[in-house]
Structure 1
Amino acid sequence: MVLWAMDPAERGARLANAALAAAAAKRAISDQHAWALVEVACASVPDHLVAVRRAYRSLFGCSLEEDAAACPALQDALRKLLVSLVRSYRCEAELVDEGVAGVEAAQLAEAIRRRKQPHGDEVIRIVSTRSKHQLRATFRRYEQEHGAGIDEDIAKHSSSQFSKILRSAVWCLTSPEKHFAEAIRYSILGFGTDEETLTRAIVSGAEIGMERIKEEYKARFKTTVTSDVVGDTSGYYKDFLLTLVESED
């Protein structure tokens, strides 16, 4: 309830700070804490990230990118990706350059499919700077020319933590329902519930588009968000999450 009641920019700032603090305390960043940074940086509109950075500075007395860059839990490649994402400001214009899309699709394929180096500088540059419309065009060209989506190839050609976080960034930038569906599913699998991830995914997902998330969840996991929340939570916590998820057949 506290998260939902917050101003979205303050919520994003606090979630990012909490993720970095948890990673620093453990001297290792979990996928779930890296997800929090990716969600803040990529899942919403560019102006939201600007507002988050402004709120972060006001709340914590330093910049989000400074804290990400200084986090001792981040290895070089992942640090570079996350810092590049949180400092980004993407153009919102719908204009797409198909020539650039073709060139950059080839650069991505070279790094991911041939060299198996998704952490390459060109990959980070493209993912962290191009507009969402331009990225969609690039990823379409990638799939047309190579017969597989870039997210599929990232998972196929590398199993590193960097690759997992890169795939989450690709999803958040172009089809965030895929990322939030996976985050919700992860949080309820296995013994116990990852309430931190589940709460963040549903609260943030409700603002991104819960209907699309529910459709994606049902298609991929052959069950519903509602039934899994009911089966894994209880009490007022369950009731509040179901309010955000809304009715589901």
Structure 2
Amino acid sequence: MASRGTVKAAGGFNASADAEVLSKAMKGLGTDEDSILQLLTARSNAQRQEIKAAYKTLFGKDLIDDLKGELGGNFETLIVALMTPPKEYDVTLLRNAIKGAGTDEKVLVEILASRSPQQVKEIVAAYKKEYDDDLEEDIGGDTSGHFKRLLVILLQGNRPQGIQHGSLDADAQALFKAGEVKYGTDEQSFITILGNRSAEHLRKVFDAYMKLSGYEMEESIKRETSGNLRDLLLAVVKCARSVPAYFAETLYYSMKVGMGTDDDTLIRVMVTRSEVDMLDIRADFRRLFACSLHSMIKGDTGGDYRKALLMLCGGDDA
């Protein structure tokens, strides 16, 4: 499948030459932030790893440590994120979400709802390798109730492929009975069905559910559930419909006027999707919010941080 990312591997790539450019940008008084951001946003993650290795060979120093020493604030956070391999980045995000002060449920929801079953399995294995801890146990120890149960189901990475035609109507009926029909909500049915079906299957279930109940799945979830469980169920439903549209919405709310900018979310999404589906996210953003992602980033951020984000955005759909 062709990448729908805005960041592609650079042609005529020379890791040692790039390492030299970065070293020069950090030498002497003051740092040439512009050279750093222009170079790193124009290389794929795999190429950045080669640059990091070449830098160590040439200068005997760790590139990420040097970048951290020269940069600051959101710009530093963004550049360090770009320098981290994708799976390792997801693992670090999850670790920080659980092990920091309090739990960052937003990160757990976003990563586990949007990554493919295969990616989730790889994340669980990489987490074990990196920290010698069990991700399921760590998340389980930090969350509770139905929210925890659905996270645990998603962590199994066992969603079947394709559409189970035999159970489409039964699934829609079960969801209808669990929510709209019942006094009180049977959350377990929502969790079991939404956590254990493929995206294609769920899209058909949502259509059948709409015919049965007269409501979109999202409307019912908003009415029937609350808190973290509601956020996670909604993320699963939105990602089943369209992962790029889910991220377009996530980006919009990270910058919505009057809310203050949620830079952690903005950086996380721009970095993790820049080589995957940023072109689709931009198109969905334009369609959903009647302004371009580019213009919103431009109005909401500043300095080198803004420049780097705009490079990852890769163009304006005004």
**Residues 77, 159 of structure 1: alpha-carbon distance in 2 compared, 3 angstrom cutoff:** closer
Counterpart of 1:42 in structure 2: which amino acid? A
Please tell me the residue identity of whatever aligns with 1:229: I
Partner residue in 2 for 1:79: 148
- Evaluate the alpha carbon distance shift between residue 126 and residue 203 of structure 1 in structure 2; reply closer, same or farther with a 3 A threshold: same
1:65 and 1:119 mapped to 2: Cα distance?
A: 24
Structure 2 counterpart of 1:87, one-letter code: Q
Are 2:274 and 1:206 equivalent residues in the alignment?
yes
Partner of 2:137: 66
Amino acid at match of 1:151: E
Report sequence identity in percent.
29
C-alpha distance in 1 between matches for 2:239 and 2:245: 8
What SS class does the counterpart of residue 218 from structure 2 fall into? helix
Question: Does the C-alpha gap of structure 1 residues 44 and 221 become closer, same or farther in structure 2, counting only changes over 3 Å?
Answer: same
Q: 2:212 aligns with which of 124, 129, 145?
A: 145
CA shift, 1:207, in A, is 4.2
CA drift at 1:200: 0.9
Q: Amino acid of the residue matched to residue 181 of structure 2? A: R
Range with greater deviation from structure 2 (49-58 or 155-164): 155-164
**Aligned AA for 2:194?**
V
| Cα distance change, pair 227–200 in 1 and its aligned pair in 2 (3 A) | same
Assess, with a 3 A threshold, how the Cα gap between structure 1 residues 113 and 13 changes in structure 2: closer, same or farther. Answer: same
Q: What TM-score does the superposition give when structure 2 sets the normalisation length?
A: 0.69
Amino acid at match of 2:243: P
Q: Find the aligned partners of 2:110 and 2:183 in 1 and give their Cα distance.
A: 25
Gaps of 5+ in 2: 1-78
Shift of 1:179: 2.1
When structure 1 is superposed on structure 2, of 158-167 and 59-68 the one drifting more is 158-167
The whole-number CA distance in structure 1 between the counterparts of 2:165 and 2:183 is: 25
User: Alpha-carbon deviation of 1:185?
Assistant: 1.7
- Deviations 1:181-215, CA, capped at 9 Å, x for gaps: 22212211225321101111222233441222222
Return 167-176 or 62-71, whichever deviates more.
167-176
Match of 1:102 in 2: 169
Query: 2:121·2:155 contact (CA, 8 Å) conserved in 1?
Result: no
Contact 1:37 1:86 in 2 (8 A): no
Task: Give the counterpart letter for 2:296 in structure 1.
Answer: D
- The aligned residue for residue 247 of structure 1 is 315
Structure 1 residue matching 2:250: 3-state secondary structure: helix
1:88 maps to which of 128, 150, 157: 157
Distance (whole Å) between structure 1 residues aligned to residue 244 and residue 278 of structure 2:
8
Q: Alpha carbons of 1:153 and 1:226: their partners in 2 closer, same or farther (altered >3 Å)? A: same
Please list, as runs of the form range in 1=range in 2, the aligned pairs for 1:91-170 lying within 5 A after superposition: 91=160, 93-94=161-162, 96-115=163-182, 120-170=187-237
In 2, the alpha carbon distance for the partners of 1:124 and 1:186 equals 25
Does the 8 Å contact 2:176/2:212 carry over to 1? no
Cα separation, 1, equivalents of 2:276 and 2:307: 20
**3-state DSSP of counterpart to 1:103:** helix
Q: Number of residue pairs matched? A: 238
The TM-score with structure 1 as length reference comes to: 0.86
Is the 8 Å Cα contact of residues 97 and 108 (structure 2) preserved in structure 1?
Answer: yes
Q: For structure 1, which segment, 12-21 or 216-225, has the greater mean C-alpha deviation from structure 2 after superposition?
A: 216-225
Contact 2:270 2:309 in 1 (8 A): yes
> Does the CA-based 8 Å contact 1:154-1:163 persist in structure 2?
yes
Q: State the shift of 1:150 in Å.
A: 0.7
Correspondence for 2:238: 171
Distance 1:208 1:104 in 2: 31
Which structure has more helix as a fraction of its residues? 1
Q: Flag the structure with larger Rg.
A: 2
C-alpha deviation, 1:97, in angstroms: 2.3
Matched, 1:17 2:95: yes
TM-aligned CA deviation for residue 104 of structure 1: 0.5
Distance in 2 between residues matched to 1:210 and 1:148, nearest whole Å: 30
